[in-house]
């Protein structure tokens, strides 16, 4: 068995709003990346206000975590007003890094907010070490976010020879085109993918014709979205390669997804570090099963060991086949004497059903809803409404922010 002193990589999680950012940090992320309301892709990801950015920076400091802010549009001249002020504001808040795709924005960050690290976005599609050295020499970047299209050999070489720390994607959505270098959305919806408006047109369902002959059937239409990345089985290789940061994609994803995914990677990374080598088949099977409890689409391991990207595209409607757990609610408070918790509900559940607690400590404790009460203290047989406050008995101490989920 291989054992080796491994450096601890940063686990970097996405967050579309304050609640999701706090959840990611509570569940073990070393850093979160967020978008402000300006200069950021993912304009639909309920981006952070100035006050939110101040608040998440203060929250992250309490946990020793970092905040990275995407300033990653491909800007046209009219998009650049206020850039210097915005960068100075991020620096004053204590943001650790900005993630940029435009060389001009990288240059401005160095000039107007020199305490911010500048991370070169995956939008630049960096796939070789010469490009990294060029970016270091001319733009003084502090980190490169590698293109998702890199193979494991590319990752090793760029990390060893690029001269700046590297960041690699380990989980989440992939583009069927070259990491966002795509104008499908622009053409079909007038929403510019490179200004944050991607309508995910590749995932729509299409009737396919050859001439006047339709090749598709009504219940088997054509799509061309990519499978999602899932890299549990490559964590050790990426750590051994010396990758500085492991990035989870998905600023549009839910709080439950973020908690579930971050929690699994946190535990798996920590266990590999403790062991100093790859985990055995049983442990990896356990982590893969845990990962399937979140809202994954169909998955693959990306270009790391599939340079030809065979089997990467979903040609038929995506049915979220791997989702096997429902998010039932978040714990608001715990009564130690009564051994009960008040939860804010999300999906319906009934007395007698089995559920489990998902907590930042990584324990997944099963239990049965022996009874439940509404906010008037009345016993209920079923909880039907989202965002209601319901009291349930729990088998062990829980904390605000723990989540309750149910196996399908």
Binding-site ranges for ligand SF4 (CB under 6 A): 175-177, 180, 182, 184-185, 193, 198, 200-202
Q: What is the nearest approach in angstroms of ligand SF4 to the Cβ of residue 153?
A: 25
Query: Which region, left, alpha or beta, applies to residue 198 given φ > 0 means left and ψ of -120 to 50 means alpha?
Result: beta
Q: What is the nearest approach in angstroms of ligand SF4 to the Cβ of residue 224?
A: 8
Q: What is the nearest approach in angstroms of ligand SF4 to the Cβ of residue 177?
A: 4
DSSP per-residue codes, 65-85? -EEEEEE-----GGG-TTHHH
Counting every residue, how long is the chain? 408
Eight-class DSSP state of 379: B
Bridge-based pairing state of the strands 389-393 and 340-345: antiparallel
Q: What is the dihedral of CA 36, 171, 30, 136, to 10 degrees?
A: -70
Q: What is the nearest approach in angstroms of ligand SF4 to the Cβ of residue 180?
A: 5
Q: What is the nearest approach in angstroms of ligand SF4 to the Cβ of residue 198?
A: 4
Q: Which is nearer to ligand SF4, 187 or 384 (CB)?
A: 187
d(CA 392, CA 331): 10
d(CA 39, CA 46): 14
Name every residue whose Cβ is closer than 8 Å to that of residue 208 and which is 6 or more positions away in sequence. Answer: 214, 215, 216, 221, 222
Q: What is the nearest approach in angstroms of ligand SF4 to the Cβ of residue 296?
A: 16
Name every residue whose Cβ is closer than 8 Å to that of residue 65 and which is 6 or more positions away in sequence. Answer: 25, 29, 30, 31, 32
Q: Which is nearer to ligand SF4, 34 or 184 (CB)?
A: 184
Angle, vertex CA 163, rays to CA 161 and CA 169, nearest 5: 80
């Amino acid at each position: 068995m291989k054992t080796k002193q491994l450096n601890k990589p940063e686990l970097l999680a996405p967050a579309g709003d304050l609640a999701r950012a706090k959840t990611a940090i509570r569940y073990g992320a070393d850093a979160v990346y967020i978008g402000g309301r300006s200069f950021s892709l993912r304009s639909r990801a309920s981006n952070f206000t100035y006050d939110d950015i101040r608040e998440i920076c203060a929250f992250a400091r309490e946990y020793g975590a970092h905040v990275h802010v995407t300033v990653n549009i491909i800007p046209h001249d009219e998009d650049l007003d206020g850039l210097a002020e915005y960068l100075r504001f991020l620096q004053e808040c204590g943001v650790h890094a900005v993630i940029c795709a435009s060389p001009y924005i990288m240059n401005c960050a160095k000039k107007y907010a020199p305490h911010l690290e500048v991370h070169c976005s995956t939008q630049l599609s960096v796939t070789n070490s010469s490009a990294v050295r060029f970016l270091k020499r001319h733009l003084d970047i502090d980190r490169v976010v590698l293109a998702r299209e890199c193979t494991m050999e590319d990752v090793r070489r760029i990390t060893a020879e690029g001269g700046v720390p590297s960041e690699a994607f380990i989980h989440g959505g992939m583009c069927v085109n070259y990491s966002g270098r795509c104008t499908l959305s622009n053409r079909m919806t007038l929403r510019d993918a490179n200004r944050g408006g991607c309508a995910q047109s590749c995932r729509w369902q299409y009737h396919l014709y050859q001439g006047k002959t339709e090749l598709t059937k009504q219940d088997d239409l054509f799509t061309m979205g990519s499978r999602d990345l899932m890299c549990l089985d490559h964590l050790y290789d990426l750590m051994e390669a010396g990758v500085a940061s492991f990035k989870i994609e998905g600023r549009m994803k839910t709080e439950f997804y973020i908690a579930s995914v971050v929690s699994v990677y946190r535990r798996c990374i920590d266990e590999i570090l403790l062991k100093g080598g790859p985990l055995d088949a049983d442990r990896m099977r356990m982590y893969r099963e845990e990962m399937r409890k979140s809202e994954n689409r169909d998955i693959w391991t990306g270009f790391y060991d599939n340079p030809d990207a065979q089997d990467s595209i979903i040609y038929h409607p995506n049915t979220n086949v791997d989702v096997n757990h429902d998010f039932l609610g978040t714990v608001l408070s715990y009564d130690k004497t009564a051994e009960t918790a008040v939860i804010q509900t999300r999906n319906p559940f009934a007395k007698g059903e089995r559920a489990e607690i998902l907590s930042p400590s990584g324990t997944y404790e099963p239990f049965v809803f022996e009874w439940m009460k509404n906010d008037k203290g009345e016993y209920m047989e079923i909880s039907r409404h989202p965002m209601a406050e319901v009291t349930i008995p729990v088998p062990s101490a829980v904390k605000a922010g723990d989540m309750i989920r149910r196996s399908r």
